[in-house]
Structure 1
Amino acid sequence: MDRMSERAGRLGAAEGPPDSLEDLLVRAGHGDERAFEQLYGNLVPQVFGLVLRIVRDPAQAEEVTQEVFVEVWRTATRFDPTRGSATAYAVTMAHRRAVDRVRSAQRATERERASAISEQTPPFDVVSDQVEVRLEREQVRRCLGSLTQLQREAVDLAYYAGYTYREVAEILGANVATVKTRMRDGLIRLRDCLGVTSGAAR
């Protein structure tokens, strides 16, 4: 991470008043490499920190962080500052990349385990449980897609990335009360989409 920190320090020493991260990302979407370098310098510590918390390996965290910023550069044209902050855009992308890396490692481990016991036939109840879990995950993913951009960002950052209300508020550029309202409304919509009712028996 030393190389990243040194580069971020040099970039942070640029002369003149700092542009907003949203302006930098929009300019990067128009091919402005200097704007992207400034964006990188501002966001890399936060992105790396989040990725490291998830993958728990510094070398892999550096790799994933670089992948995130490559994706940010490639998709910068899609960024709409009216729908969310540049920080939330990058952090959400970082979280998804990091989770994908962890899941990929888990799948590799599972394949090795499955290969070692390939001669054994899993009991029916084990297969049934696996199918049920997979279906539940698909339903949750579909329901998350029904939320507004702001609701999804707040829920993603708080429940999947592990940020506190105050940290989510700082990332999204909103006050804590607004963040709590977004999350409450988003969780209510998720509950309704998933068909969960208080006191209902499954």
Structure 2
Amino acid sequence: MKCSRSRVSEFSELFIEYQLKQSEKDILSQRDNGLKFCCEWVNGMQIVDTNNLKSHLKDYDLATIFAFDNFVLNLDRGGYRNKPNLLINDEYFLLIDHEQLFYFSDDVNASDNPVIADFKNNIWNYQAERHLFYPLLKSLSPRAKKDIFGTFWYYLKNLDTNILDETAFFLSQHQISIGNFDLIKEYIYEIKSKPDKFCDLLIQKIA
């Protein structure tokens, strides 16, 4: 599994001078000096064919991505906007475009998190039925579903939450909005502390 990655890079003077068209240089000259989010070209990959998923991805791949998207409340892979946001080739896949996450954090003044409240009451309101992989996971046999989120359970259990404050500080220092960070951190701590419960709720979703 190869997940999406991010890094900080700067355009060198040589790159600007010899790799950019004049029209691109003009656009760049009008931008401020802060961080920008952009794309990285990946050779030999294409948007996944949603009619041919099973030939490329194993059941545990489908389950792990599905669980990850539930965890971050990703509204951007599947039926919400009808785009898979998944690149693939013969060797691996790449998750892309994670701009629609943690929707509850849009209210920067909120002090209560409805997602956590529901989770504590054994309710998971993320609309999994709209997810790209939901039909495939739903169609699996009960036996296949039993431990299907085991890989994600391991990732969640071992998630290093120490990077949250560091990442938030970095983004804030570069004037990148992070929404209601306190609610995001509270949510991640709550889900991470109960991986069995979270995965059980996902099993119920695809039952």
More contact order relative to length (CA 8 Å, sep ≥ 6): 2
TM-score by length of 2: 0.25
More helix by percentage: 1
TM-score by length of 1: 0.26
